[in-house]
Structures are given as structure tokens and as C-alpha cells.
Amino acid sequence: MKNRKGLSKVLFFLLLVGLLLTPCGTAFSQPPYKIGYTNCHSGWLGFMGSAWRDGFLLGVEEINAAGGINGHKLNVVLYDDESDVAKGVLAFKKLIDTDKVLMITGQNQSGVAIACAPIAEQSKVPYLGIGASRWIVAKPGKWQLPADPTEVFDYVAKFRVDAQTHVEAMYAFAKKRLGVKKFAWVNSSTAFGMNCKEIMQATYKLAGLELSAMEEYGTNDSDMTSQLTRIKAKDFDAIIIYSSDPAGALVYKQAREMGITKPIIADAPMVATPILKTLGQYLEGLYVCVHAPDVPDLNLLPKNVQPMVPVINKVRKGVMEKYNHRADWINAYGYDGARMVADALRRAAPDPTKLEEARAKIRQALMSTKGFVGAYAMGDVTATHELRVPVVMIRLGKGQKFELAE
């Protein structure tokens, strides 16, 4: 792995000797904790998967550097599902049956995650879902909002990238700060985008807003002018773009090129490092509903999320050192993934040789996570096995400077 390069020659030599002498091959007193990680590092959502992986591996590294968990090294088995259901399911089963991991995390593509959640449940392997659609925690056929605590999988937990929270934050911001009455909506035709669309349709009236146009686009579309033209023809005060992929940034770019001057609000993926690196210069003036780690001046963060600041600083430092770029919320997210896992393992203190029992213990610990403080999420795992993620509204200023918009 990348960090090997970082090790000094001496350490490396010792490690080699260790490898030769001991079968287990680490400096750790205890047998390692083997955990599975699968995600899409290629395919249309690849950029997110890789960013998540970077954060996740950073976290794992720090944990191991600090002597692991109660003397157990954290070993990660890592696969790419290439955003393909069949490949995802196979990878998931391989982790459970062949690699015999204690728990699994990853997968931000809904299609894949939805297919894997029941497998985790059936084979009693704790699964910490990320990204994806919220539905993965809920038992098949029991999908409605709010998820019913009695109808969620026992073994599946998830970070709550809660579209509802985001949408509501956007509404509030649009109304109060921008004085918006009528808004136009654009979303990507992915499970993620479609879910958000449903939530939007269900909630905008309550927020006292009017919907004047509703458009969508495919993830590999590169020309949005048709959709934007339709919007332009309508009467609206602001556009809300809801997308998890770069195409969303293209919508904004092309909207401005088409001379749409009204305020435009988008969701956190637009400030993902790869998007900013490429399209940042075109995103000036975009309002984004982001997560704590994306706020440049952490002192401006609301009181309730202040505890996260030190962790966020740690991620920023780590990512800058390891990958030398600005840490975005996805890195932080992955980093939290590692820390959630570690936290659960620490409290469960399972014996990796007794697989069944260990998995059950970890599940218990994971679901009863309390007062978790991460760089991305914080709080308790709820009755619906979800962990809340706070959001903040920012505005992209000149030179990709972020300004707190609230």
C-alpha cells in the first residue's frame, strides 16, 4: 500500500524480519481484525468511491499506527464492484465466505448496496452502509419514510446522508436568505437523485414553495441545454440541482453560459475535490448544502457541531500529507467509516477466531454506538440504524473560496 513507501528503511527491515519469523507477520500481539471493504472505484460513481477509499484507508492507517484495536491490527480486504450489481454481489459474498471478514463497509451505489443488505442480514454479517439510498437499512417491501424501527435489518447500519435534511436546509435557505417563492428542480436519474426528487415533491408545499419546473439528466449526459431551455422558459426565482455526479456541475456551468442569472443551489457532491479541481472555476456563485468538513473556517460552524472540529483538522492534515490535496467531505466520510468500525470493534472486543460470535458482538456494538464524534457525522446510531450527518449552507466565492452563507 501507499504508506509502505512512507516507512523508514529500519522499520521496513524489521517488518521484513517479522514477516520471515512470525506467520502472522505483524508487530501486533493479537491476531488481526479482518474487515471487508467494497465500493465502486470505477464506473460512473468511481470518483466518489475512490475518494471514500482514500479517507477510509487513511483512518485505518492511523488506527494501526496507534497500535490497532486492543492490540489487534486492522486488516482491510478491498474490492471494486465497478458499479455493477453482479460484481458487487459476488465481491460481497467473497468477503463473507472466502475472506471470512468480521464486518463489511462501503458501497455508495444504491443498486449494489440494496442487493447486498439482505445478504448481510442472511449471513449475519454486520454491514455499515455509506452513500447509497437510505432504503438499504429497511427490510424489503417496507420502504417508506420515516423508516419503521421494527422493520429495519438487524445487521445493516448506515450513515444517514439524509436527502430530507438536505432538501429542507435548502428550502429554508432559499426562502429566508434568497427570498425564493418559485423554484426549478434538476436531478440526476440515479436512485439517489430519484429518491431526492420524491422527497422534494413530498415536502416543497409544506415549505411554502412553488415548483415551476422539474428536469432530470442521465449520469453520462454532457449537454444539459435541452433541460435548461425548458427551465428558462418557466418563471422561477432559483434552481435546485440535486446530483451525486460531475454532471451536476455541468448543469450549473451550462446554465450560466445560457445566461441564467438566478441563484442556483446544489448539494454537497459539487464540492467534492475532483469536481472542484476541474470545474471549480465555473462554479463561482453556486450555493451548496455541504457538510462540516467543507466549511473553510471551522470556527464559524454552529455550536452543536463544534466537537467535530479537532477530528476535521486531523483529516485535513492526514489527507494533505498522504494524498496532498484538500480534504473534502467524502474523504472525511471514509475516515469516519474507519473510525466507526474501530469504535464498534473496540467496544465489542471480539475474538476473531470465533467468527459467528465475533460478528454478533460487533453488530451489537455497532448498533448501540453512542455519542460518536467524526469529521463528517456525529451523534448516536438511531433506532433505524442511522447516524446523523449535520449540514451547512455555503457559497462558492471567487477562486473557489468558500463563504458561509448563513
Partner 1 sequence: MSMYDQLLQFLIAGISIGSIYAVMGLGFMIVYSVTRVMNFAQGEFAMLGGMLSTVFYAKGLPLSFSILCAVLITTAFGMFLHRAVIYPIRTAPVFTLVLVTFGASIAIRGISLIIWGTDFRILPPFSKLGAIHLAQAVINIQALWVIGTTLLMAIVLFLFFEYTVPGKAFRASSINALGASLMGIKTERMGSIAFGLAAGLGALAGAVVTPMMTTSSEIGLGLAIKGFIAAIIGGLNRIEGIIVGGLTLGILEAFGAGLIHSGFKDVIPLLIFLVVLNFRRGGLLGDAEAGKI
Partner 2 sequence: MENINRPRYASLALFVIIVIVIPIVIKSPYLITIGIFIGLYALISLGLSLLMGYAGQVSMGQSAFYGIGAYVSAILTMKCGVNPWLAMILAALFSTLMAGLLGMVVLRLEGHLLAVATLALCIVFYTIFAQWKSMTGGVDGMPGIPKLSIGGLTLTRDFHYYYLIWAFVTVILVFSFNVVDSRVGRALRSIHHFLGGSEMAAKSLGISPMKYKIQVFMLSAAYASFAGSLYVHWLSLVTPSSFGFLTSIYPLIIVTLGGQGSLWGAIIGAAVFFIVAEGFRALVPILKPGTSGEYEILAWGLMIILVMQFLPRGLVSIPDILKEKKTKG
Binding site for partner 2 (CB under 8 A): 1-2, 40-42, 46, 53, 57, 77-80, 82-87, 89-91, 93-94, 96-98, 110-111, 114-115, 118, 123, 133, 135, 139-141, 143, 189-191, 194-195
Shortest spacing between CB 370 and partner 2, in angstroms? 30
Instruction: Please give the single-letter amino acid code of residue 325.
Output: H
Which option in partner 1, partner 2, none does residue 25 bind, with CB closer than 5 to 8 A by kind?
none
- How many residues are listed for the chain in this entry? 406
Instruction: Choose one: 90-98, 196-204, 229-237, 398-406; the region binding partner 1 (CB under 8 A).
Output: 229-237
Residues in 292-321 at the binding interface with partner 1, rule: CB under 8 A: none
Question: 220 vs 188, 191, 248, CA distance in Å?
Answer: 10, 15, 11
Instruction: Choose one: 117-125, 273-281, 336-344, 363-371; the region binding partner 1 (CB under 8 A).
Output: 273-281
Interface residue with partner 1, options 7, 16, 19, 233 (CB under 8 A): 233
Which option in partner 2, partner 1, none does residue 320 bind, with CB closer than 5 to 8 A by kind?
none
For residues 162 to 201, the per-residue mask of contacts with partner 1, x marking binding by CB under 8 A and - elsewhere, is: ---------------------------x------------
Q: Does 368 bind partner 1 (CB under 8 A)?
A: no
Q: Bridge partners of 79?
A: 38
Q: Does 42 bind partner 1 (CB under 8 A)?
A: yes
Interface residue with partner 1, options 129, 274, 318, 350 (CB under 8 A): 274
> Smallest Cα–Cα separation from 55: which of 308, 316, 290?
316
Which option in partner 2, partner 1, none does residue 236 bind, with CB closer than 5 to 8 A by kind?
none
Which option in partner 1, partner 2, none does residue 259 bind, with CB closer than 5 to 8 A by kind?
partner 1
Q: Which residues bind partner 1 (CB under 8 A)?
A: 41-44, 46-47, 49-50, 189, 215-218, 220-223, 225-227, 229-230, 232-233, 246, 250, 254, 257-259, 274, 277-279
